[in-house]
Amino acid sequence: MPRARKRPAGVVRPDKKGPEGKRTKTENPGDTSAKVENSSFQETSASKDCGKNLSSYWLMKSEPESRLEKGVDVKFSIEDLKAQPKQTACWDGVRNYQARNFLRAMKLEEEAFFYHSNCREPGIVGLMKIVKEAYPDHTQFEKNNPHYDPSSKEDNPKWSMVDVQFVRMMKRFIPLAELKTHHQAHRATGGPLQNMALFTRQRLSVQPLSREEFDFILSLEEKEPS
């Protein structure tokens, strides 16, 4: 199984455009560690579904631009996923309890949007699917790995990962700015993106989507950018 070096961190700062897009763990006021436990997830349509084991759709963030963390390049783009054997890689490095729990809730063949985060133009670039359900994240035990957690024990590991496989590129790139425009409009009209976790829980790198959210985003592929 390929173990690509990548960093889909459990907690990330809200995306914003510009050359300052790269992130370090300590950039966020009040977010001093990627291991922050945050269990106060705002209940949205997607989180309700997930609680009932009904959420079968996901959005997963990863950084497409090179950035060294403890001497390791944590870059992992959709192009990197495509380049892996069988276009498959483990989604390691998640160090937020809620994001971890979402990984543990994933089932085989469920679909996820691959989201480029903390870059000049963040947004949804492609689709992937879950090809191996949650199992212990090996990086928590590797002392030279940026995601090493000395408090995690092999007989009782804290952190999990899944394996994902590339499905396809989006027919067109769906930028964060476009999604935000729809989210703001839907808050007023009651549309499908009104409670999207990308805007209600920006720092989570693994997020559930309702079927309505997933279908609406797919429909944007066929439309001119707004």
pLDDT tens readout for residues 50-96: 444 557 999 999 999 999 999 999 999 999 999 999 999 999 999 99
Q: Which two structure tokens, joined as six digits, stand for 52?
A: 């009932």
Structural domains of the chain ordered from first start: 57-173 (3.10.590.10)
Say if residue 226 is exposed, middle or buried (CB neighbours under 10 Å; 0-12, 13-18, 19+). Answer: exposed
Encode 28-41 in three state secondary structure. Answer: ECCECCCCCCCCCC
Residue 61's DSSP bridge partners are: 115
pLDDT tens readout for residues 188-207: 999 999 999 999 999 999 99
Q: Which two structure tokens, joined as six digits, stand for 139?
A: 């990086």
CA–CA distance, 200 with 173 (Å, rounded to integer):
22
Tens-binned pLDDT, residue by residue, of the chain (226 aa): 344 444 444 444 445 443 333 333 323 322 323 333 333 333 444 444 444 455 799 999 999 999 999 999 999 999 999 999 999 999 999 999 999 999 999 999 999 999 999 999 999 999 999 999 999 999 999 999 999 999 999 999 999 999 999 999 999 999 999 999 999 999 999 999 999 999 999 999 999 999 999 999 999 999 988 7
Q: What is the pTM of this model?
A: 0.80
Q: Which two structure tokens, joined as six digits, stand for 31?
A: 């977010």
